[in-house]
Amino acid sequence: MKYTVRTVLFALLLTLTSLAAHADGPVSIGLNGGGPLSQDAHIGWLRVTFYWSSLNPDTYGVWNENKFAELQGIITDAQMRGEQVMLILSGAPAWCGGGSNGATPCYIDAWKAYVDEVSRRFKDQIAAYEIWNEPDLTGQSAYGVGWDFPVASYPRYVDYLSEAARIIRVNAPGTLIVGPAMSKSSSRSSSIWQQLDQTWFPDGTNASDYLDVISFHHTSFREYEHSEDIAWDIHDRIKWQIRYYNPRNGWKPMWITEFGWKVKSDISEATQRVRTKNLLIQMGGGGSGILKNKGFNIERAFIYRMHGCDGDEGYGIYRCNQTPRPVVSTYLWTLPFPATQDPSVPVE
């Protein structure tokens, strides 16, 4: 890939101005899920999934008020507990071509109507919106995961992102726009990062302008991956993929919106606890210093599962019977609410 002198100078300028802006520091701990158990675990940020297809199941502009009331209940409950909510906008309804798994994007006007409705109703109640979920994946069986559309075909992910951000910034000023929630480093994710960097709109804005926070996932599927292994993966993804293909976004705040280890025969509950704690220390620039003094420490990280009683129990920080695993009872309970990890403490 060739860079112009202008691009290189732009990247250098971002480096100089952003390293100080995003220094190493404490990592705020979030969780995918909510309710009393999240507060019990001292979690201050929730990543909430509530699909577009649930709120707008039948036709354009017709809303399911019962589902909106259900979502309002989740948000109100979090507010009463002193927790902040990040809502994922994803899961296209079947009536406009969303497919059986909600992963095929609808035409752009339907998307805009959905974003407008949600962001107006929940003004000043939602701290952040994450735009879609893992658009670098295709053909997923899990609902609301992936982007079953060619990267360059319209509507593109960057079109969904930019239109959503424009609407949210009008309806709910100050709300953070988070994305692109990439699953992994791949040729497809590289193409999306590059598209973010190189897409310009008629009003003179760049697609990267519409992201306040960069998000990606780093859930471990392998028993031999320790906290240092994942920290190196985070390092390499930011340095050699995000900053390489999308330098305009490469020095913005970084959140990992899914991470964790699955308890199984090779990983005990005690191991899950130690690796979770140690990775959070590494994220803030501590531990072995893999992410230290590079301007891309992770400011917020969301543990993947509350308890996973729908078939992914092993990832949960609670067992399916809602009793706490050690990651809660001998780690998160030792942190004051809202839970943050100080990177200056030693790893275990």
- DSSP letters, 305-339, are BS--TTT-GGGBSB-TTSPBPHHHHTTGGGSPSSP
Please report the beta strands in 166-309, taking only residues with DSSP state E, as ranges in sequence order: 176-182, 213-219, 254-260, 298-303
85 contacts 46 by C-beta, under 8 angstroms = yes
Question: Sorting pLDDT into bands at 50, 70 and 90, what band is 10?
Answer: very low
Averaged pLDDT for residues 219-240: 90
Whole-angstrom Cα distance, residue 281 to residue 253? 17
Question: Sorting pLDDT into bands at 50, 70 and 90, what band is 311?
Answer: low
What pLDDT digit, counting tens, does each position of 68-97 carry? 999 999 999 999 999 999 999 999 999 999
Averaged pLDDT for residues 217-223: 80
pLDDT at 296 > cutoff 90: no
The domains located in the chain, with CATH, are 28-341 (3.20.20.80)
Q: What local confidence, expressed as pLDDT, does residue 185 receive?
A: 86
Residue 74 CB-half CA count within 13 A:
20
Query: 301 or 223: which carries more pLDDT confidence?
Result: 301
What pLDDT digit, counting tens, does each position of 140-171 carry? 999 999 999 999 999 999 999 999 999 999 99
Q: What local confidence, expressed as pLDDT, does residue 265 receive?
A: 79
Average pLDDT of the chain? 92
* 301 alpha-carbon distance from chain centroid: 8
pLDDT at 6 > cutoff 80: no
What pLDDT digit, counting tens, does each position of 253-278 carry? 999 999 999 998 789 999 999 999 99
Q: What local confidence, expressed as pLDDT, does residue 310 receive?
A: 64
Q: What local confidence, expressed as pLDDT, does residue 11 receive?
A: 46
**In the structure encoding, which two tokens stand for residue 124, read together?**
């000043």
In sequence order, the 6+-apart residues with CB closer than 8 A to the CB of 210 are 161, 162, 164, 165, 166, 177
DSSP assignment letter at 209: G
